Each structure stands twice: as C-alpha cells, then as structure tokens.
Structure 1
C-alpha cells in the first residue's frame, strides 16, 4: 500500500460514504477490537448496479469472504477485491439491526434527549447515507459486516463469534471500478454485548498497485477471471456496457 491520500477516524455508531476511484485501495482498521462495519457498494455512474451477495458467494463457492475474494455487482462485474483481511472471516448474512432491535437489546435513546450518547442503528444509518445519492429503502441490498463473523453451531443455528476482531486488525479493499462505498459503524445485530458496542474504525485511501497476472484475487476462482474481463469491457466502453 502506498502512502495514504487521506486518513479519517470514523467513530462508532456513525455512517460514511465516498466514491472510490478504480485503482485505489480503501483500508479499514479496527482501533479497539470488536468493531463492526456494515458496508454496501453501488456504481456511481448507474446506481441501479449494486453489490450482489448471492453472486459473490456462489461464484466463489463460499459462505464467508476474506483475502482473495472479490465483491461482485448484480451485473457480473467486480467492485473490489479483498487483498488483506486480518480477521480471515467477513460476515455475509448477518444484515443490520433496526431501531426496535437496538432498543430491545440496549435500551431506547434518541438524539433529541441524549444527543451524541444516543443509540444509532445500522438500518437507519444506511438509509441516511444512501439518501444523499437519491436512494431509499428499496436500494438497501444485503450488506457485508467487516470485522464480524457469523457461523453455524453444532445444531445448525446461526451464531455470532465474540472477540472475532482484535485491536489493530486491518481489512484492505482494492477497487477495480469506480465505486460508491456506503457504510455504518453501528454494532452487528447479533452482538450479545451487555453495553452498546461503540467501536471506532480508521479509514484511509491510497493508490493501489497495478493488477498483475499472478494476482491472488484474479486467480482465486475461474469465475473471478471472467469478472475481471467484464470489468475490462465495461471500462473500455462504459456508456455501452453500463445497462
């Protein structure tokens, strides 16, 4: 990773967005341990194109995502590649908590009474952020939860892995096409913590190294090579291939 173009501290229970240009990397670091980053992706030139969780999982034959995996759009293109994941497991199915879920787990607070000590939820946070781009409820696809892990226990129930991410754990995403990145740092809906987990993350943007023929993400699955080919065609003729 080259020297960062910029670095920001994103507090817990916050939301954030940025259009990341192709050929750049977004690096996120869990500063205290136990962070959660619920993330979505959109094509800024065509907001109807967005992250597709089922395609990202089935074409790479996996339930989790980690280093070497690619994140696909619903048009068969690759938004970004995971070039580093210290946690070795990114949750793909946990979703986000809504206002009632947060109130049930951690009590009801609102900004009018509690100001910055209120308890924000992931669903409303994402809605506020996507609204800046003219998007709404129907545009919230299934999200990723970086720094969190869900798995099936011996009885087949979905379970949350406590203490999955440690202080200093880093995830780096290399962007293969211009991408609108939207995320919230609200807690994972399955987090059993007694106190509302308010965990900050550091975000930095930097120039990525050029894609090489031996790139681990490109060669992780045969399907990924086709995804990168779709990107090449799109980048060569964006006005023809965007719809």
Structure 2
C-alpha cells in the first residue's frame, strides 16, 4: 500500500459500507483465523450496476478467486482487482463466491436466537440482514441483493457433489488486498459463512485498511492475468472517457 489512510477493526458479527474512489486500495486481514467476510459491490453513480458472480467466474475460467482475478459488474466493467492474496500458513487462500450468505433462520437453527435488545454486542447477526441494514443507507433493499463474495471461506465438493466448508487453511494473518478500478460502493459483513457448522457462533474479527494503490501499468499482473481482463480494463477506460464528456 503506497499510502495508508485509515484502519479499523470490525467485530465478528458486524457490517460496514463505504464508497471508495477509483485507485483506492483495501486490505482485509483475518485477525484470529476462521473469519468470513461477505461482500457486495455497486456503482454509486448507477446503483443498478452491481457485482456479478457468474460473469466474474466464467469469463476468467475459474471456480475460486485468487491474486490476479478481477471482480466484474453486470455491465462488463471491473469493480476491483485482487492485487495481493496472502496465506499466512502457505497453504493458499480460497475465497467462495457461490454459496451466498447466512440468514436469520439458519443462524437460529445452528446457534440459537439472540437479539440486540437483549444481548447487545453478543447478539447473533446473520449475513442477509446485515447486508440489508447497509443497503438501506443508500436507498437499496432486498430487491437489490446479489450473489456475494465470501472472503477467507473455502468450499469444496465431495465425490457425491455435496458442498461443505473446509477450514483447513483458515488461520490468523490471512489477508486479501483489492485495488478499485472504478468508484465503488462496498457493502460487507463479518457474519458466519452459511455452511459454517462450528459449535459456537464464530465471533471472528477482521482488520480493514484503506489507502491509495500504485498506478496501473501496462505490465500489471491483474490486467494481464487473463485475456478477458484486458477487455474489462478497456471497458472501464471507455466508461470514464464518456464520463468526462
């Protein structure tokens, strides 16, 4: 990060949102190990444009996200690039973008029901409602929900095709850094992954650092990671060229 501007720690049942400018850098770090960060992206100038999981995966021919991958909107533009993907134990990070988010029913069935009025900061928030709280701040609602990313969560399929959460590489110090390629409304929560079967509700905090990214160069790793990413960056350039006129 060329210039650190802001840092904060988000508790393990929290939610947060911010509009980040093009050229911003966000680094998220799993402080204790086992964290999950659900995240959505929207274009603050046109909130109908948002993160598109199917396009992100199919155009880069991948099921998992890692360093080099770009995060696409439903307009073929790039919200952000994954410029760093640090695995503290060397086993490699894995970031799920197909399983969605937890909801009130799934959390209550797994860990019981607590509400903020009674339990204050120890209440058991779920990802769906956490997203809705943040979306409402921008005039958005459940109709504006999309398939989200789950940072630090690895999902695998067995021979029968059943998907489950693999926590083998979930350790303290894992981090991911996103460089924003366009102005982006970032909405996130730190509620459990929907496939998390831990005995106790996982209050796993994360650190968020915001700063300025180095300029994108012709030999940029993410830009050249896939041929499709070249077109995504061109779409962004065209978008900002038109905005100047």
- The answer to whether TM tops 0.5 is yes
Asked if residue 230 in structure 1 is aligned to residue 242 in structure 2, the reply is no
1:168 maps to which of 167, 173, 180: 173
Shift of 1:158: 0.8
The count of corresponding residues between Structure 1 and Structure 2 is: 240
SS in 2 for 1:4: strand
Unaligned runs of 5+ in 1: none
Runs of 4+ in 1 over 3 A off after TM superposition: none
Q: Deviations over 1:154-202 (max 9, x none)?
A: 2221111114321111100000000000000001010110000000000
Separation (CA, whole Å) in 1 of partners of 2:78 and 2:117: 41
Asked if residue 23 in structure 1 is aligned to residue 23 in structure 2, the reply is yes
Q: Which residue of 1 aligns with 2:6?
A: 6
Asked if residue 35 in structure 1 is aligned to residue 40 in structure 2, the reply is no
Q: Which residue of 1 aligns with 2:60?
A: 60
Q: Is the 8 A contact 1:83 1:174 kept in 2?
A: yes
Q: Is the 8 A contact 1:108 1:119 kept in 2?
A: yes
Asked if residue 145 in structure 1 is aligned to residue 168 in structure 2, the reply is no
**CA root-mean-square deviation:** 1.1
What's the TM-score, normalizing by structure 1? 0.96
SS in 2 for 1:116: helix
Q: Which residue of 2 aligns with 1:70?
A: 70
Q: Which residue of 2 aligns with 1:84?
A: 84
SS in 1 for 2:98: coil
Q: Deviations over 1:216-240 (max 9, x none)?
A: 1111111100000000000111278
